[in-house]
Amino acid sequence: MSDHNLHTNHDDHGHHEETFISKYIFSMDHKMIARQFLITGIIMGTLGMLMSMIFRLQLAYPDMKFPFLEGILGHWGKDGKLDPNFYLALITIHGTIMVFFVLTAGLSGTFSNLLIPLQLGARDMASPFMNMLSYWFFFASSCVLVFSLFVDGGPASAGWTVYPPLSALPKAIPGSGVGMTLWLVSMVLFIASALLGGINYIATILNMRTKGMKMTRMPLTIWAFFVTAVLGLLSFPVLLGGSLLLIFDRSFGTSFYLSEIVAELAGGIERTGGSPILFQHLFWFLGHPEVYIILLPALGITSEVIATNSRKPIFGYRAMIGSILAIGVLSFIVWGHHMFITGMNPFLGSVFMLGTLIIAVPSAVKTFNYLATLWQGNLNLTPAMMFAIGLVSFFISGGLTGIYLGNAALDINLHDTYFVVAHFHLVMGSAAIFGMMSGIYHWYPKLFGRMLNETAGHFHFWLTLISAYCVFFPMHFMGLAGVPRRYYANTAYDQFNVFIDMNEFITIAALLGGAAQLIFLINFFYSAVKGKRAPQNPWKSNTLEWTAPVEHLHGNWPGEIPHVYRWAYDYSKPGHDEDFIPQNVPDRDQMDPLDEPTSLPEPSLTKVHNASTAEVTH
Amino acid sequence: MKIFNSLTKSLFLFSLLFTFGFNLKAQSADEGKTLFTANCTACHAINDKIVGPALKDVHKRREEAWLVKWIKNSQAMVKAGDPVAVQLYKENNESVMTSFENLSDVQVKSIIAYIKAESEAPAAAATAAVPGDNTKTKMNNESNESLVSSINWLLLIISILLITVISYVFSILNRIGKIQGKEVINWTSVNGFLLLAFLVIGLIATFWEFAVHSKLTVFADGPASVHGKEYDNMFMITLIITGVVFVITQILLFWYGFKYKNDGKRKALYYPDNHKIELLWTVVPAIVLTILVIRGLFVWNDMMYSKEENPRNVELFAYQFGWDARIAGADNKLGAYNFREVGKANALGVDPKDEKAKDDIIVKELHLEVNKPYHFSFRSKDVIHSAYFPHFRAQMNVVPGLPTQFSFTPSVTTAEMRTKTGKPNFDYALLCNKICGSAHYRMKMVIIVDTKADYEKWLKSQKTLAQSTPVVSENTVALK
């Protein structure tokens, strides 16, 4: 904790004139940067979702022509038929956008930026300038990716995992020309953004906590962001290395990933001696921690939202931190489960299988802790809370299918089928999106100083929940029938074509889900301007961000930064009138913030009845 | 699908007509048909655009010499600046057509002859002559499909109407609330009941899905390989365990959401932890997972390290967008290959002078003998593919420059599987399961599992590499 941070107040930050550009565009204020990340993420997310609608239409109606496709896609939709190459481009860019631009930058970028300084009691990030750079690298990276949609040959089309040789040889698929180069450039910029952000988050969390904010008093959101940042810092450079080698292979004639390529594809040079599997190792060394980079912030948000709206302390706070750390460590030794059938040594497969199934234990602990937090709570079912409950439901549904896929033996017949598509869209896609939505509904008053419309929020939740289950649950059965993912149509196989009705059902459900997001978009942008003004602490929450004024101040708090006297989860504590005690409220006799608050009698089940029969006193 | 089906059927019919009925200029077109199905159908059809353009009347659009040149190496023509070639390349979004330099001029011409015969054939006659049974089932399917399809749309319209009505009701209630100055709708209790409803409907829907859709999975057909039984057991154990956990945890989650919703009368229980319970739900999942891991490891090792002695050697060669299978001859040894020779003397780049290669047999439709162990080795010409045999519970990636392998013993013949599943047209398929380009979704090979007698009969009808084509012996000189 730096003293500088504790005792300077807002005025010391100077009275320099803020122009439009320095306030809204090249802003160094973490709250503005959080908004920038969020809005860019929402725009990219809308784009990614629209792409999924187009390829869902193709999958449901492989024989039908949609003249409007020619209107929006030009020569890729000639005569209303989606070109198979462009279908592959769409799934590639959909995956890239959703995994990196929405669920990494949009989720972690938004909430790490907003909450780390506010929940820890810091004036801003450790380096506001690097923070600004982080956003602008992200912005540049988004622009390059969107630009790549319009180049000759189309955008990258080798799947979001861009396995070489398909991604390395321009002759193998049209998208592996300029489009692929731009994809790699975009990824390099993205990694720079992620690293600049990550270093900042870690430095801020370690050094800039207010007095009394011990590591063991931090809200679980911050713990999740902390481990996420560490994971990103350790794994993104590996992808950077992998991408650079791929750039060399593509542009400078090296053969890191290429071996025994026939002359007609090799482009006039010898392409031997490399290994395509090397790229997969480098990619998944990031790729698997990436799953947790996406998921942990969503789980952190959920912990906070569930505790606040259950009016109960999160169950097993220390076990939750332990699970986050365990997941973080284990996530580095499981990447091989994406590669069981690449021809990897079967013994190595056994090791990865062991690691993968061990990681299920902390995940199970987290789920049970959420359930225990809900038990005997006093739930306020706000939109944020509903999305958090939805996340837990998806986390269970999608997590359990991970036990099939993590088992090397079972993976043999399920690998790369729709079973995998269903699995990760539930556990990583839907769950993380729900975590993000939960966060948006919960912290919207902090982000924009206004409230979102609640009724619209509930409609948004129910339609999204129903459509997500209708879209992804049936896909399990397609996977069990062996339908491979990334197929343009199932028409070539009798045994797969029986799913045409199911595909149609899924597409209709997806369109419904897309329409539901319109409710959200309208609500989001309308409320930012015209919403009801937010009170300071609308959810009666304990964490420090709700002690800051509603208006955004540069430096967050006018006057002194609040000190912290307790953990973040003193909800419904016996012996207090209110059902919440903010972190900055000292107990009787507690003089120094670093002292433990006055100890409580051990909770026991006999108290359950007393507590539940007691009237709420306020 | 329908189109493709009727197409293959009409192709079949035509081949019948040609061989038995009118023996016209059959020879060339007949060979062309075989070559066409083996090499072209992944991307082309006569009447429809698939990945590449429809080929109907292509002999009228281009000269034969031009076509031969194009089919053998289209990229060379584009590079040389042939205006028609460049235009065609651009029109097809710069998709590169596979080169077929291993085909002789005569062979390419026979393909063109076949396309010509097909283009001139009256299409109506072909469809009318499809055997009666099939037409019936097809029509049934179609009416079913359109029925389900209209139900889907009906559902959509109903749900949109419902949403509109509900949101209208809510907006009225909201207005009333504003006038009265208090909230009319208590969202917490509405959501509580909705959570309960979702739980009940969701569980019913899940069981319904299992009842209806599990029949469509490969697990309903049963395994077609020896190790498949072990695989299916493992799968069922996992299904039962995860199924129980799924039902219990989802019930708890949604039930708690309903039961403990804020009713304004209670205070929540301050209950921050309980080490005994936490220990319990850490240890129990750990034990269950250990059991699954140990069992899984046994199955995995059994599948990966096959103990069968003297398996028959087969090489599967993958390229954009098809498969070739090379069966080791009498010596059960595969001859050497060189990737630099791929597509020259023969499509696989096998050295024809290697003694071991001479009796190798290269086929486009793989026949296997039932209950005979097989050892497959995989090789790719261009990008990563994945050899996926869903019914045999087998899959292995095909990686350029990295030899991979998989062993299994087929245990159910195609004929038995057809009776068992009640599908007279059933065939085992080898399909590509790793994104490899535009026609990835059509990259397939039919696998037929025969009885010993049938297999030997089939084997006799195949030519070894040494006998197969005179082209090989011509080119051996050029190879040096």
Candidates B93, B292, B386; nearest CB to A174: B93
For the beta sheet containing B374-380, the strands, ordered from the edge strand earlier in sequence to the opposite edge, are B361-363, B322-327, B312-319, B374-380, B404-408
Look at A365 and B281 and tell me if their CB atoms are within 8 Å. Answer: yes
User: Got the DSSP string for A371-406?
Assistant: HHHHTT--B---HHHHHHHHHHHHHHHHHHHHHHHT
Q: Which residue has the higher pLDDT, A117 or B472?
A: A117
What confidence score (pLDDT) does residue B251 get? Answer: 97
Does B152 sit within 8 Å of A508, measured CB to CB?
A: yes
Whole-number pLDDT of residue B27: 55
Sign of CA dihedral A118, A124, A125, A126: negative
Q: What are phi and psi of B12, to 5 degrees?
A: -60, -45
Same domain, B150 and B202: no
Q: Which of B128, B143, B158 is the last residue of a domain?
A: B128
> What pLDDT is stored for residue A16 in this prediction?
58
Its ipTM equals: 0.91
pLDDT in tens, B314-373: 999 999 889 999 999 889 999 999 888 887 778 888 888 888 888 899 999 999 999 999
pLDDT in tens, A72-85: 888 888 888 899 99
Residue window 387-406, chain B: list those with CB within 8 Å of chain A. 388, 390-391, 393-397, 399-405
- E strand or H helix at A514, and its extent? helix A500-530
For an interface test with A, give the residue of B270, B273, B391, B423 to mutate (most A CBs within 10 A): B270
What is the Cα A487 distance to its own chain's centre? 26
Distance from CA of B59 to the nearest CA of A (A): 24
Asked if B9 and B92 sit in the same domain, the reply is yes
pLDDT beyond 80 at A605 = no
If asked whether residues B398 and B255 sit together in one domain, one would say no
Give the residue-averaged pLDDT of A595-616. 50
Find all residues with CB under 8 Å of B229, minimum gap 6, and list them.
Answer: B223
Residues B430 and B472 in one domain: yes
Per-residue pLDDT at A369: 95
The full length of chain B comes to 480
Closest CA relative to residue A477, chosen from A401, A543, A553:
A401
Domain termination residue (choose one: B304, B333, B367): B304
SS3 per-residue string spanning B325-336: EEECCCCCCCCC
pLDDT given for residue A64 in this prediction:
86
B301 neighbourhood in chain A, CB within 8 Å: 346, 350
Predicted confidence at residue B124, as pLDDT, reads 46
> What would the pLDDT profile of A6-55 be if each residue is shown by its tens digit?
444 444 444 556 777 777 788 899 999 999 999 999 999 999 999 999 99
Residues 6+ apart with CB under 8 A from A201: A112, A116, A125, A225, A226, A228, A229
Q: Is B76 on the interface with A (CB under 8 A)?
A: no
* B465 membership: H or E segment, kind and range: helix B465-468
Q: Which two tokens stand for residue B426?
A: 């059933």
Residue B180 belongs to a domain: no
Q: What is chain B's pLDDT, residue by residue, as a tens digit (480 residues)?
A: 445 555 555 555 444 444 444 444 455 777 888 888 888 888 888 888 888 888 888 888 888 888 888 888 888 888 888 888 888 888 887 888 888 887 888 888 888 888 888 888 765 444 444 343 333 344 444 445 555 567 777 877 888 888 888 888 888 887 887 777 777 788 889 999 999 999 999 999 999 999 999 999 999 999 999 999 999 999 999 999 999 999 999 999 999 999 999 988 888 899 998 999 999 999 999 999 999 999 999 999 999 998 888 999 999 999 988 999 999 988 999 999 988 888 777 888 888 888 888 889 999 999 999 999 999 999 999 999 999 999 999 999 999 999 999 999 999 999 999 999 999 999 999 999 999 999 999 999 999 999 999 999 999 998 888 887 544 444 444 333
Task: Say if residues B439 and A174 touch (Cβ distance below 8 Å).
Answer: no
How far the first Cα of chain B sits from its last, in Å, is: 46
CA A247, chain centre distance (Å): 27
* Distance of alpha carbon B350 from the chain centroid: 27
pLDDT at position A602, please?
47
Give how far B23 is from chain A: nearest CA, Å: 31
Tell me which chain B residues have a C-beta less than 8 angstroms from the C-beta of A166: 383-384, 435-437
CB-CB neighbors (< 8 A) of B286 in chain A: 361
pLDDT for B71 equals 87
3-state secondary structure of B448: strand
SS3 per residue for A559-612:
CCCCCCCCCCCCECCCCCCCCECCCCCCCCCCCCCCCCCCCCCCCCCHHHHHHH
- CATH number of the domain bearing residue B121: 1.10.760.10
Same domain, B123 and B146: no
- Give A51 to chain B, closest Cα distance, Å: 18
Across the interface, whether the CB atoms of A463 and B163 are under 8 A apart is answered: yes
- Nearest-CA residue of chain B relative to A341? B396
Q: What angle do CA B361, B364, B367 make, to 5 degrees?
A: 70
Contact criterion met (CB < 8 Å) for B396 and A371: no
Pairing of strands B322-327, B361-363: antiparallel
Q: Say how far apart CA A433 and CA B94 lie, in whole Å.
A: 37
Longest alpha-carbon distance in chain B: 98
Q: Which of B304, B334, B366 is the last residue of a domain?
A: B304
Verify whether the Cβ–Cβ distance B296 to A389 is below 8 Å. Answer: no
Contact A501 B273 (CB under 8 A): no
Kindly state whether residues B325 and B447 are assigned to the same domain: yes
Chain A interface mutation, best of B435, B442, B447, highest count of A Cβ atoms under 10 Å: B435
User: Is the same domain home to B219 and B341?
Assistant: no
Residue B44's nearest CA partner among B52, B56, B33 is B52
Residue A4 pLDDT more than 60? no
From the CA of A299, how many Å to the nearest CA of chain B? 16
Asked if B256 lies within 8 A of A173 by C-beta distance, the reply is: no
Query: Hey, are the CB atoms on A469 and B75 less than 8 Å from each other?
Result: no
Q: How do beta strands B361-363 and B374-380 pair?
A: unpaired
Q: Could you give the CA distance from residue A90 to residue A315 in angstroms, rounded to a whole number?
A: 42
Side chain identity, residue A57:
L
pLDDT confidence of A611, banded at 50, 70, 90?
very low
Mutate to test the interface with A, among B191, B201, B404 (most CBs of A within 10 A): B191
Across the range A372-376, mean pLDDT stands at: 94
* pLDDT value of position A2: 42
Shared domain check, B114 and B145: no
Residue B15: other Cβ atoms inside 10 A: 17
Q: Hey, what's the torsion of the CAs at B204, B205, B207, B208, to 10 degrees?
A: 110
- Please report which confidence band the pLDDT of residue A349 belongs to, taking 50, 70 and 90 as the band edges: very high
| Helices vs. strands in chain B: H and E counts, helices first | 18, 10
CB contact under 8 A, B216 and A477: yes
Q: Are residues B332 and B440 in the same domain?
A: yes
Residues B167 and B207 in one domain: no
Distance from CA of B22 to the nearest CA of A (A): 31
**Do the Cβ atoms of A75 and B191 come within 8 Å?**
no
Alpha helices in A148-177 (DSSP H): none
From the list A373, A254, A249, A360, the residue with the least C-alpha distance to A314 is: A373
DSSP B109-169: HHHHHHHHHHHHS-HHHHHHTS-HHHHHHHHHHHHHHHHHHHHHHHHHHHHHHHHHHHHHH
- Nearest-angstrom CA–CA distance, A408 and A352: 8
| B361 and B282 within one domain | no
Q: Mean pLDDT score of chain A, rounded to an integer?
A: 90
Say if B178 falls within a structural domain.
no
Q: Is A360 left (phi over 0), alpha (psi -120 to 50) or beta?
A: alpha
What pLDDT, on a 0 to 100 scale, did the predictor assign at position A187? 96
Cβ burial of A11 (10 Å; 0-12, 13-18, 19+) is: exposed
Number of residue pairs across A and B with CB atoms under 8 Å? 408
| pLDDT in the model for residue B399 | 95
Evaluate the omega torsion of the peptide bond into residue A139 and state whether it is cis, within 30 degrees of 0: no
Domains of chain A: 3-7+21-258+271-530 (1.20.210.10)
Question: To the nearest whole percent, how much of chain A has pLDDT over 70?
Answer: 94
Q: Is the dihedral of CA B117, B121, B127, B129 positive or negative?
A: negative
- In this structure, the dihedral spanned by the alpha carbons of residues A96, A97, A102 and A106, taken in order and rounded to 10 degrees, is 100
Count Cβ neighbours within 10 Å for each residue of B296-332 and write b for 16 or more, e otherwise. Answer: bbebbeebbebeeeebebbbbbbbbbbbbbbbbbeee
Per-residue pLDDT tens over the stretch A168-224: 998 889 999 999 999 999 999 999 999 999 999 999 999 999 999 999 999 999 999
Whether residue B179 lies inside any domain: the answer is no
Query: What tokens appear for B418 in the block?
Result: 């057809």
Domain span at B20: 2-128
- For residue B332, the domain's CATH number is 2.60.40.420
Query: CA nearest B342 in A: which residue?
Result: A262
Is the distance from CB of B410 to CB of B368 less than 8 angstroms? yes
pLDDT of residue B10: 52
Sequence-distant (6+) residues with CB within 8 A of A75 are A83, B93
If DSSP codes are grouped into helix, strand and coil, which group holds residue B431? strand
Cβ-defined contact of A163 to B437 (cutoff 8 Å):
no
Predicted confidence (pLDDT) per residue in A504-524, tens digit: 999 999 999 999 999 999 999
Domain count along chain B: 4
Instruction: Say which amino acid occupies A451.
Output: M
Interface test mutation site (partner B, options A255, A366, A378, max chain B beta carbons within 10 A): A378
A195-230 CB burial, b ≥16 within 10 A, e <16? bbbbbbbbebbeebbbbbbeeebbbbbbbbbbbbbb
Give, in degrees to the nearest 5, the angle at Cα A98 between A95 and A102: 160
Q: Are residues B282 and B319 in the same domain?
A: no
CB contact under 8 A, B384 and A165: yes
